[in-house]
Amino acid sequence: MHLTETEQAEIAAARDHSVSTRRATVPALEAMLFTPVPVLDHGFVRVIDYMGDDAAVVQAARVSYGRGTRKVSEDEGLIRYLMRHRHSTPFEMCEIKFHVKLPIFVARQWIRHRTANVNEYSARYSVMDREFYIPAPKHLAAQSVNNRQGRGDVLEGDEAADVLGLLREDADRNYTHYEYMLNEDRVDPDRRGLARELARMNLTLNTYTQWYWKTDLHNLFHFLSLRADRHAQYEIRAYAEAMLAMVRAWVPASCRAFEDYRLGAATFSATMLSVLRQMLAGEAVTQADSGLSKREWAEMMDTVGR
């Protein structure tokens, strides 16, 4: 992660500035505010602003007049109840805003989550930075043989070196040509320069972009349940995990409930429940007579530790 001196100074200035507020405030998240947390080789995620805390979830659920005088343990009990019974609206009452720097191909997965507000750096209006994502060797995975959208083992030796070389050279050359076509400030006075909105098309999908992304806690949990999951592509999961750490600081009780009831949970289909009841009753059940496909059976046995 590289920041210019100006950017560092702007962040430092924002962190230095404190004022008084009557709003719900979370010291643990205040401590993190504005500071970029590095993700991947040149990316980051940082919290720009937030609204609400655990008590705000409770306050909205009760439509109450004040912050309440109940014990923290009662609030946590209610939060767990709300999460368990899929009451989503109280969690929508907290909001968070991130500034994220991320490769374009990750941004394209991310944007599929539509219930969020986004302002992306505009390559129609501005010139992109010369920064590309190149996987660390341990993340340079081969195509999985079994799973069409999965990764297999890590590439090694010549093949790895070969791939890394190509990724680097192609991104770099294309960026150089991008800059050349732009001819910003008419460095070459004999050329007029291609429109920015056209020149950008020469960039590769690992070029870094950045955006402001704002969402509510319920939709953030949904995002994290899909993107912090082990089936998510590593590159987006790296962002999800950095954000999950921030959410733990922000709304610890809600996040505990989320990790217990959603992230670490498993759903059993009606057919699986029937198998489970038989197993608990001591009956022998086999995949063949279970009504489950081989893959489902394997997934279920994996989940119940058999």
* Segment 113 to 132, residues that bind a copy of itself, using CB under 8 A: 114-115, 117-126
Residues 300 and 248: their CA atoms lie apart, in Å, by 29
Q: Which residues contact 155 (CB under 8 A, 6 or more apart)?
A: 140, 141, 142, 163
Contact 206, 171 (CB under 8 A): yes
- Write the binding mask 170 to 189 for a copy of itself: x where contact by CB under 8 A, - elsewhere: xx-xx--x--xxx-------
25, 38, 245, 289: residue in contact with a copy of itself (rule CB under 8 A): 25
Residues in region 50-69 near a copy of itself by CB under 8 A: 50-52, 56, 59-61, 63-68
Task: Mark whether 227 is an active-site residue.
Answer: yes
Selected catalytic residue, list 46, 196, 200, 227: 227
Of 197-216, binders to a copy of itself (CB under 8 A) are 197-198, 200-206, 210-212, 214, 216
Q: Which is nearer to a copy of itself, 171 or 243 (CB)?
A: 171
Does position 289 interact with a copy of itself (CB under 8 A)? The reply is no
Q: Is 191 in the site for a copy of itself (CB under 8 A)?
A: yes
Under the binding rule (CB under 8 A), the answer on residue 28 touching a copy of itself is no
3-state secondary structure of 44: strand
Give the footprint of a copy of itself on residues 70-109 (CB under 8 A).
77, 80, 84-86, 89-90, 92-93, 95, 97, 99, 103-105, 107-108
Phi/psi-derived region of residue 93, left when phi > 0, alpha when psi is between -120 and 50, beta in every other case:
alpha
For residue 190, the minimal CB distance to a copy of itself (Å) is 8
Q: Does 159 bind a copy of itself (CB under 8 A)?
A: yes
What single DSSP character describes residue 293?
A: -
Question: Considering the rule CB under 8 A, would residue 269 count as an interface residue with a copy of itself?
Answer: yes
CA-based nearest residue to 224, from 212, 236, 235:
236
Q: Which of 2, 38, 49, 298 binds a copy of itself (CB under 8 A)?
A: 49
Residue of 57, 10, 8, 12 whose CA lies nearest to 258: 57
Distance of alpha carbon 59 from alpha carbon 177, whole angstroms: 56
Burial class (CB in 10 A: 0-12, 13-18, 19+), 226: middle
Catalytic annotation, residues: 227
